[in-house]
Amino acid sequence: MLVNCVAYQNGKRLAEITPREIHDYVNRPDCFVWVALRDASDAELAEMQEEFDLHPLAVEDARHGHQRPKVEEYGNCLFVVIQTIEPDGDDLRVGEIDVFVGPNYVLSVRQRSERGFTEVRARCEREPELLRYGSGYVLYALVDAVVDRYFPLIDGLEAELEQIEERIFAGGAARAQVEALYGIKQKLVTLKHAVGPLLEASSKLHGGRVPQVCLGMGEYFRDVYDHLGRLNQSIDAIREMVTTALSVHLSLSTMQENETTKRLAAYAALLAIPTMIAGLYGMNFENMPELRWQFGYPVTLGIMAVIDIYLFRRFRRIGWL
């Protein structure tokens, strides 16, 4: 589905054009065309392939989808894959933007993603002095926007982990916490798959030799790279803490088991002592003098009570109760 298709000249919006006009504008030296597709059909991709003369392997990747984030050069065309990640109920939905960047065109194909990039286009059009850099700047703006959207997800996981920690240390270890930790781990793997390869790939866009279309944009792409580095570090840190939290949970479960056992034992002892004494006086020996004493019964009850009170206090003191 075509979202929009606009021609720019010297950083300023020229006109909304139809795909069939692309051809004209692409060949004008100071112009570039920015086309945005969404969940593109095979026919649309084929049309674009022809208009922009895209490499068949890149188009094939865009058609298949589910690519790893990457930056590939096909001649002077750059093919960039970025994963979009959006919260979807309790899960994360992984979408993808495939960006084809040539000297005077940008084609972005958004797939399986709810949230669009009209704000990116708006921001670019508000800054004509930067948009003058051409298609490289548009690429930067797109990547920057996707990367900025990762931060709240990471912050959310951090907050979730903190809540689980508190609950683990406060209320005793429970099943729900293990499940939640596992859920965080799964989301981290998803995020890592989006961030890790992009971090590596984006290092090709600044520093030494960079693709033609990114020339002069080094500081901007280094900034994106730096943000990705921060994300990557946060992911690794949360990952490590999740692993630690899991073993802490195990330790606490084991100790809880221990405490339960002790508590049971204490109560069992409180019941077993009177039971044993009662058993003794339930014996049918003919010659048991206590049975005939006037106060044999209440004294026996008293002894039971005294022993149990003593034990109860003792168990309290050593922390079993």
295 scored as a contact of its own copies (CB under 8 A): yes
Conformational region of residue 180, where left means phi above 0, alpha means psi within -120 to 50, and beta covers everything else: alpha
The SS3 of residue 105 is strand
Among 197, 198, 202, 204, the residue binding its own copies under the rule CB under 8 A is 197
Q: Which is nearer to its own copies, 24 or 179 (CB)?
A: 179
Q: Judging by beta carbons within 10 Å of its beta carbon (0-12, 13-18, 19+), is residue 174 exposed, middle or buried?
A: middle
Closest contact distance (angstroms) between CB of 250 and its own copies is: 5
Task: Answer yes or no: are the C-beta atoms of 110 and 116 closer than 8 Å.
Answer: yes
The SS3 of residue 117 is coil
Q: Judging by beta carbons within 10 Å of its beta carbon (0-12, 13-18, 19+), is residue 31 exposed, middle or buried?
A: middle
Beta strands 105-111 and 91-102 are: antiparallel
Closest contact distance (angstroms) between CB of 218 and its own copies is: 10
280 scored as a contact of its own copies (CB under 8 A): yes
x-or-dash string of contact with its own copies, 117-156, rule CB under 8 A? ----------------------------------------
Q: Which is nearer to its own copies, 8 or 220 (CB)?
A: 220
112 scored as a contact of its own copies (CB under 8 A): no
163 scored as a contact of its own copies (CB under 8 A): no
Closest contact distance (angstroms) between CB of 1 and its own copies is: 27
Closest contact distance (angstroms) between CB of 17 and its own copies is: 30
208 scored as a contact of its own copies (CB under 8 A): no
Q: Which is nearer to its own copies, 38 or 249 (CB)?
A: 249
CA gap 219, 130 in Å, rounded: 13
